[in-house]
Chains A and B, each alone.
Chain A
Amino acid sequence: MAKAIFEIPEIVLNIAKYLSPADLAQACRVSRSWFVPFVSQLWRSIQLDQWIDGNLAPALPRYSAFVRELRCPRYIEPEVLGAQFEQLTLFRAPLLDNTNIDIFKQILRENPNINSLWVVFDRPLFTANERDEFFESVAGMSKLRSLHFSGLGFPVYPGELAHLLNKLTWLKTLVLEECYYSRLPRGTEPTALTIEQSGHLRSLSTDCFREDTLDIILEITQCSPQLEQLVMLEATVYRTNIMMSPRLEWFAEKLHSYCQHLDQLKFHACDLDQNGLACLLSAFPKLRKFEFTDCSMKHGEILAQIIQHESCRDSFEEISLQNSSSRMDPTCADEVFLLLRKFTKLKKVSLTQCKLLALDFVRSQEEFGYVLASRDLQVLSITITGPNKKWAPPEVFPEKYTPIRDDAEDEDHDLIQVPDYHLYNAVMEEFERQPKLDRSAIRFDYSWF
């Protein structure tokens, strides 16, 4: 009886989806009838870290027909890629050079269903002719939804990306890393950019945020009127630098005129100043999401800019500020209270390094009648600090604190006086009024002095 379910391929394929690679490898050794369904799931998706074991590459050609998602490390033998792949939907190519460029083009030809492509270039590659062929083969991937170019100094000429975007009309996400902008090869006249049809690009991530590469971004945005998200990535060679300048002002103005739907802005490891941020925000009048990781501004300064950006009061939903130093930033409490009180559509607030005093929280409650203006709040990741360790029940503090129940004097005290936690209760009352809030991300702490 039990055997029966393993004899129906549809059921077995479903079961296989719930097993890890190690479990699948065991299951496909059970018998011949078990082999194909489990092995096909096992080879469906190849992750980068799985190549560490030397047995994967030699076995791959035998199972290439099952592979849908192929993520290659930078360096692999060209023979491995020479295998027959027919069902790829995701392809992360190894470093492209003269030995494997033809195989790369062949894979693209034979796998028209690829919707996600990741390409890393090698600098000395590509004559003008090879470039054209390369871009043509990528432009032929009509189902592409996500494209990631990592340049390693590979120059991008004006018009090349726009041409690509004109062809790839279903592309939603474009990531451009380490592509340095290049003036046209000597002797060539720049051609005016013609937009044949407007693309559907929704998200652009790039580290090309320097004076001389702003043109690339404008070129892309010019043919992407649907763009919603701009992500500034960490750059490896030059640090991404967003400081106020006339050129930045010009850039923000252009950006806004090309893309009317911009509402998500993210920064990863960039240098910014307050005016630069304010200038860039002007291209995002209906800002909805804002993310900021490891950048050179204080959290309070960033929040102040967002609060001043009044046009987004009714659209702003998500904010996340984070520094990998994980040090607490106590300076921004006033701004946090303002943000929570002024923005009525907030859904997710992740300020893990911000600390609010419970006393200030209650004071704000008394003064304005509320702390949280939004009724849609789902996540609030923040630390609330009380004046001493008796302000809240001990179980709400992080575990590392609990063993510190030391002196006998303290014990006696507890026996006499049952704590009533009125401060804590007042804070919790505010949270309990929130219909959608998941309270698990809120942290509680107390002052040590």
Chain B
Amino acid sequence: MKVTLESSDGQVFTVDKEVAELSVIIKEMLVIEQANQDHPIPLLNVGAVELAKVIEYCEHHRNDPTIDDDEDYDSRKKPIEMDDWDKQFTIVNKEMMFELILAANSMQVKPLLHLGCRYAADIVKRMSPTEIRDLFQIDDDFTPEEQDKIEWEKQWTKL
């Protein structure tokens, strides 16, 4: 069975139902609107470029076992496996990847969301607070006293 999806900029994509159902949101919509499938499902927060990429991801992972529980992703114990395809998939520019994280979040494609978050974590790894602020253009809104206190309290993490 096929399902049609419409991106925020009006482009329509037709995919297999089981592929679209990797998105928790779409899966729920399909249950509710079972009778009414003449119209494409609108995805108001996802542009055509990102949607195409999300679909590409879902096509590749259509047969993966589903993981419902977020705790299963608790990374340091059990890192999710990233296969070669996933590694290739994440070779895009940062902006694209961040757009994909937002798309995965709004469509609730959990494995893609976690893949993206891992990518984002790799970017901030081993960066100082100043470097992170520069990269993402964030203002430091702590007072110097607060900064000192936090730094002192976190000494134990440097073991």
Pairwise interchain contact A4-B157, C-beta atoms closer than 8 A? no
- Among residues of B, the one whose C-beta sits closest to the C-beta of A49 is B159
User: In this assembly, does B155 line the interface, its C-beta being within 8 Å of a C-beta of chain A?
Assistant: yes
User: In this assembly, does B125 line the interface, its C-beta being within 8 Å of a C-beta of chain A?
Assistant: yes
How extensive is the interface on chain B, given as a class? Answer: 35 or more
Pairwise interchain contact B138-A25, C-beta atoms closer than 8 A? no
Pick out which of these stretches binds chain B: A28-36, A280-288, A372-380: A28-36
- Residue of A5, A14, A26, A55 near B98 (CB, 8 A) is A5
Cα distance A35–B154 when bound, in Å? 12
Pairwise interchain contact A19-B156, C-beta atoms closer than 8 A? no
Pairwise interchain contact B117-A2, C-beta atoms closer than 8 A? no
Pairwise interchain contact B73-A29, C-beta atoms closer than 8 A? no
Q: A2-B94, A2-B98, A15-B120 are in contact. Are A31 and B159 (CB under 8 A)?
A: no
Cα distance A6–B140 when bound, in Å? 14
Query: Which A63-112 residues have C-beta < 8 A from chain B?
Result: none
- Residue of A14, A23, A25 near B114 (CB, 8 A) is A14
Pairwise interchain contact A1-B95, C-beta atoms closer than 8 A? yes
Is the contact region of chain A dominated by helix, strand, or loop, or is it mixed?
helix
Pairwise interchain contact B132-A30, C-beta atoms closer than 8 A? yes
User: In this assembly, does B36 line the interface, its C-beta being within 8 Å of a C-beta of chain A?
Assistant: no
- Residue of B105, B117, B127, B156 near A18 (CB, 8 A) is B117
Pick out which of these stretches binds chain A: B13-21, B26-34, B57-65, B145-153: B145-153
User: In this assembly, does A396 line the interface, its C-beta being within 8 Å of a C-beta of chain B?
Assistant: no
Pairwise interchain contact B155-A53, C-beta atoms closer than 8 A? yes
User: In this assembly, does A3 line the interface, its C-beta being within 8 Å of a C-beta of chain B?
Assistant: yes
- Residue of B73, B74, B138 near A34 (CB, 8 A) is B138
Central interface residue in A4, A5, A22, A28, by most chain B CB within 10 Å: A5
Please give the distance in Å from A37's CB to the nearest CB on chain B.
Answer: 12
Q: A1-B95, A28-B150, A52-B156 are in contact. List 7 more A-B contacts (CB 8 A).
A: A2-B136, A11-B101, A11-B113, A26-B128, A30-B132, A31-B140, A32-B142
User: Residues on A close to B: CB < 8 A?
Assistant: 1-6, 8, 10-11, 14-32, 34-35, 42, 49-53, 55-56, 59, 62
Q: 9 A-B contacts, Cβ less than 8 Å apart?
A: A5-B102, A11-B117, A19-B124, A23-B126, A27-B132, A28-B150, A35-B150, A53-B156, A56-B156
